[in-house]
Chains A and B, each alone.
Chain A
Amino acid sequence: MQQLPCKMEKSNVDWSGFPSDLLFLISQRLSQLSDFIRFRSVCKNWRLSAPRSFAPPQLPWLIKFLPSKVTYVFSLSSCKDLIIEVPQMVKKMKLIGAGKTYILACDCENNSVSLMNPLTDEEHPLPPLPEYICTIKPVRISCKDDITLLCYSKGSEGVFFVG
């Protein structure tokens, strides 16, 4: 952890009774998600003052496709790799694409494909792939309202899923 440029004297004033509208404004100056989470873990008043929905906006995370058991994303805001948990089942699968908040994973052995949100564990199993497709390459995942459209292509052929 980096050293901080500030004085470390302990406080004599009551920070737990600090006005929550002002605490909220302080929490909004924390640009790192990890700092925001820690802010919310200090005490009840601080937690209530910094609602989860007001977490600092982050630049998009880039998913790293590595053949490993954990999923890495690269955070552009903090310039480092972050680890995210993926549902147990998905660990055996191969990540083949990402779009919006979803990642697309496929189990090549039994041709099953799943669409999931790694942050909420929300998962949508998709219809199995037709047998003649042996490798798939996602071209685009787009989400509009409740409809998720996946476009796979194999060579010049295109296969579309609507989930």
Chain B
Amino acid sequence: MITLISSDKRKFHVLEEVANQSLTIRDVIEDRRGRRRADRIILVTNINSKIPEKVIVYWLRHFLMPEEIAHASMSHKKAEKLKKWEAKFFDTDIDTLNDLILAADSLDIPSLFDGACEKVSDILKNRSAEEVGEISKIENEFTHEEEEEEIPSENAWVWRNEFA
């Protein structure tokens, strides 16, 4: 059993086999193998405090269905079920997706990272730059040349073809 400590000082006890889905944690455990018990405590303070819980839920679901098995011999029905579960898991607000991507990146959890990125790109699909800017609260800060020439001409092409 290992213990993860979040940025708001909460403790999460997780089976090593489950936490091993994070390649970062796996490496840390490997490095500390054979040392004192205190070394089985891992700080995950660099990620948003709401996220460890979500990550653990994700781990548990995937631990029950390891990916190697998922691809090789999982029945069609089970695969569909996992897909549905993932769709629901990632159907969350854009801020949580942001945190999940950053967490999956720092903890090195490839499938979580892929799933969250996929969802963000789904949100971006078929949305205008202005809409995306509004959702993500981004100011564009383009140079005069980009603002006046490049972007309008690229987008004119998109607009023309959106309704072609």
Interface residues, chain A, with chain B CB atoms under 8 Å away: 1-2, 4-16, 18-19, 22, 25-27, 29-30, 32, 34-35, 37-44, 46-47, 72, 80-83, 85
Partner among A41, A43, A47 whose Cβ is within 8 Å of the Cβ of B155: A41
A30-B133 contact given A9-B94, A41-B155, CB 8 Å threshold: no
Residues of A within 8 A of B135 (CB): 8, 10-11
From residue B48, how far is it (CB to closest CB) to chain A in Å? 9
The secondary structure that dominates the A interface is loop
Q: What are 27 A-B residue pairs whose CB atoms fall within 8 Å in the complex?
A: A4-B125, A6-B91, A6-B119, A7-B93, A7-B94, A10-B134, A11-B98, A12-B95, A14-B137, A16-B141, A19-B105, A22-B101, A22-B117, A26-B121, A26-B124, A27-B121, A29-B118, A34-B161, A37-B157, A37-B158, A39-B124, A41-B140, A42-B133, A43-B140, A47-B146, A82-B161, A85-B157
| Beta-carbon nearest neighbor of B137 in chain A | A11
Chain B 115-128: CB-based contact to A (< 8 A → 1; otherwise 0): 00111111111111
Distance of A6 Cα from B38 Cα, bound (Å):
42
Distance of A26 Cα from B94 Cα, bound (Å):
13
| Beta-carbon nearest neighbor of B93 in chain A | A9
The secondary structure that dominates the B interface is helix
Q: For chains A and B in complex, what number of residue pairs have CB atoms within 8 angstroms?
A: 128
| In contact, A13 and B95 (Cβ under 8 angstroms) | yes
Which 10 residue pairs of A and B lie closest in terms of their CB atoms, listed nearest first? A41-B129, A15-B136, A29-B121, A16-B138, A34-B158, A43-B138, A43-B140, A82-B161, A9-B93, A44-B141
Distance of A11 Cα from B101 Cα, bound (Å):
15
| Beta-carbon nearest neighbor of B128 in chain A | A38
| Beta-carbon nearest neighbor of B117 in chain A | A26
Distance of A102 Cα from B6 Cα, bound (Å):
58
A32-B125 contact given A1-B162, A8-B135, A16-B139, CB 8 Å threshold: yes
Residues of B within 8 A of A13 (CB): 95, 98-99
Distance of A15 Cα from B97 Cα, bound (Å):
11
Residues of A within 8 A of B143 (CB): 44
Residues of A within 8 A of B120 (CB): 26
Residues of A within 8 A of B134 (CB): 10
Q: Is B151 an interface residue (CB 8 A)?
A: yes
Distance of A47 Cα from B118 Cα, bound (Å):
19
Partner among A22, A34, A46 whose Cβ is within 8 Å of the Cβ of B162: A34
For B122, B123, B158, B162, the residue with the greatest tally of chain A CB atoms inside 10 Å of its CB is: B158
| In contact, A30 and B124 (Cβ under 8 angstroms) | yes
From residue A146, how far is it (CB to closest CB) to chain B in Å? 28
Q: Is B149 an interface residue (CB 8 A)?
A: no
| In contact, A11 and B122 (Cβ under 8 angstroms) | no
Residues of B within 8 A of A6 (CB): 91, 119, 122-123
From residue A58, how far is it (CB to closest CB) to chain B in Å? 13
| Beta-carbon nearest neighbor of B134 in chain A | A10
